[in-house]
Amino acid sequence: MVFRETILKRGSQEVRTKDSVVGNMARASKAIALMFYKGLGPNGMNILVADEKGDTFYAHDAYAALEAVRNNFSHPVGRLLHEAVKTLDREVGDCGKTFCILLGEAVKYAEILREEGVRQANIIAGYGEAIEKSIDLLEEISVKADRSYTAKIVEMVYSRLPLTANEIHTLTRLTLEALEHVMKSNGHLGSLDIDSIRVKNKLGGDISSSFLVRGLVIDKIWPGHIQMPQHISNPRIALLTAPIEIKKSSLKYEYTVSPRDVFQLKQVMDGVAGIYEEACDRLAGVGASVVLSRKELHDLVLEGLARRGIMSAYRFNDEEIEFLSKATGAKPVHDLKSIGPQDLGDAEAARQVRMGADRWIIIDGCKNSSACTIVLRANSFKALKMYERAVIKCLRVVKSFLSDQRVVAGGGAAEIAIATKLRNWALTIGGQKSLPILKFAQCLEKIPLQLAYNSGKDGIEILSQLRTMHMNGSTFYGVSSKGEVRDMLAMDVFEPIKVKKAMMAMLRETLTQLLRIENVVIAKQIKGNVTTR
């Protein structure tokens, strides 16, 4: 404890000796894994989370639960796991609970192995090799799937979430329509550009009133002038990145206005209005009929544009400008003097619609027509957030599937198949390293075991049945949603191989990092981000 006494403030904590570090890690990882055991699979329980602001909601996946409590972990392992699950979620959108459970189990067995006298270096190497081999085995047990599986994957992701039948139906329909739209314009779905599907939400109405816009939705609070046109066919779109304004002089000056000068003051004001009129003329002159500006537009500009039959909206951030540019083909213009017809983008129609108390501009049929927007409606903000997160998760899983159109059987079938093969392989390795490999096989079996428990069945009984089936070469057998041993591929329960591979890779990285930790220093309050990379 020398470190703490010499340089750390009172109240900080240091865990130093090797044994207690491993024990400490194991307890923290297990505590997090414990959050998710009962939530795993189609019969999993929801997690009720009260976040630091006091908001309470049902977290339907690992990332949502960890994200809500991320600032309240008293142990750094909590932060590490949160970062790992976040990365996994961004990359592939799924497998967060499976990851936490496997990590918790692996760390628990690492502690047992150490107590049995296996050296830490061998535990780390053994686990590393076991996971490496598992990734290879995933390839072996994967099957080729075609694009028709996309619909099944979408439905499967939504049906795993705590949604009603009506919600699942609407979200599945909208997601498939959006994917269909992207596919039509791309010609294929192989390289699905997920960024071209946007999700917007609007309070009011219920889920059935959600809809898909085959184009862009501009939901600015300041969408241009009240008298601008309601509908424009084949609009030409200008994107402005610099403000239309009168440059302020750098000279400091003072002036007083006397009644004699009023006429001159009016001249100055007319001059200013003239500059704005000139800007509007310039935009109308190059043929723009929709003006979208990154910066605020002056009232006189908005009015001038409306008078010329031009729609306008402003205050877009860089990301929005980039998206608008990609979708419409418009080039962002910085200097209005240099704008030309070649800088304008195209679409089929631009129209104003009323959404509750707001006015939205919808741009249909953009030049790069793969852009589309799913508009979600709900009566509560929490429901809206849940739908939005569900759609984003689903799109990420679909993207993973389409980038490598292979799947592995779900319901724990892939895990038990790998565990069976790992055990045989460990026998050929021998030495201390084979022990962590065998333990890792045991970790994997926790998934079908827990799926069986969660469906109210005797996990051990189901697991032994599954082991026998897999030993006899029935590679696709797992635990069905009714807790029965079934061929998962025949039941259309599968997961994209890319999701599983990403989960395994993240597991290897995080596990190695955790097991390599020599000592843990805990300041009273953990602040800032902890990264796993």
Applying CB under 6 A, the residues found at the interface with ligand ATP are 39-42, 44, 61-62, 94-98, 156, 160, 410-412, 447, 451, 480-481, 493, 495
- Written in H, E and C, the secondary structure of 172-215 is HHHHHHHHHHHHHHHCCCCCCCHHHEEEEEEECCCHHHCEEECE
Question: If contact means CB under 5 to 8 A according to the sort of partner, which of ligand ATP, Mg ion, none does residue 436 touch?
Answer: none
* 70 binding partner (options ligand ATP, Mg ion, none; Cβ < 5 to 8 Å by kind): none
**Beta carbon nearer to ligand ATP, 61 or 167:** 61
83 binds, among ligand ATP, Mg ion, none (CB under 5 to 8 A by kind): none
Q: Show the site string, 92-111: x = touches Mg ion by CB under 5 A, - = not.
A: --x-----------------
Residue nearest to ligand ATP (CB): 410
Task: Report the distance separating Cα 200 and Cα 198, nearest Å.
Answer: 7
* Closest CB 418 distance from ligand ATP, rounded Å: 12
Q: Is residue 181 within 8 Å of 328, Cβ to Cβ?
A: no
Least distance from Mg ion to the Cβ atom of residue 227, Å: 50
CA atoms within 13 A on the CB side of 461: 7
The least distance separating ligand ATP from the CB of residue 95, rounded to whole angstroms, comes to 4
9, 68, 82 from 71: Cα distances, Å? 21, 8, 10
- Our CB check for Mg ion shows the closer of 94 and 155 to be 94
| Residue closer to Mg ion, measured from CB, 157 or 515 | 157
Q: Between 91 and 94, name the residue whose CB sits nearer to Mg ion.
A: 94
E runs forming strands in 260-356: 290-293, 311-314, 332-333, 345-355
In terms of C-beta density within 10 A (0-12 exposed, 13-18 middle, 19 or more buried), how is residue 286 classed? Answer: middle
Is the Cβ–Cβ distance between 519 and 21 less than 8 Å?
Answer: yes
**Which of residues 80 and 489 has its CB atom nearest to ligand ATP in the complex?**
489
Q: Fill in the DSSP letter of residue 523.
A: -
By CB under 5 A, is residue 91 in contact with Mg ion?
no
Given the complex with Mg ion, which of 224 and 496 has the nearer CB atom? 496
Q: Of the two residues 322 and 404, which places its CB atom closer to ligand ATP in the complex?
A: 404
Report the C-alpha gap between 447 and 411 in whole angstroms.
8
Please choose which of ligand ATP, Mg ion, none residue 493 contacts, taking the beta carbon within 5 to 8 angstroms, the exact cut-off set by kind.
ligand ATP
Task: Tell me the C-alpha distance between 124 and 515, whole Å.
Answer: 7
Residue 375 to residue 237: CA distance in whole angstroms? 22
How many angstroms separate the CA atoms of 198 and 373, rounded?
5
- Closest CB 94 distance from Mg ion, rounded Å: 4
Minimum separation from the CB atom of position 207 to ligand ATP (A): 21
- CB-CB contact of 508 with 128 (8 Å): yes
Site residues (CB under 5 A) for Mg ion?
A: 94
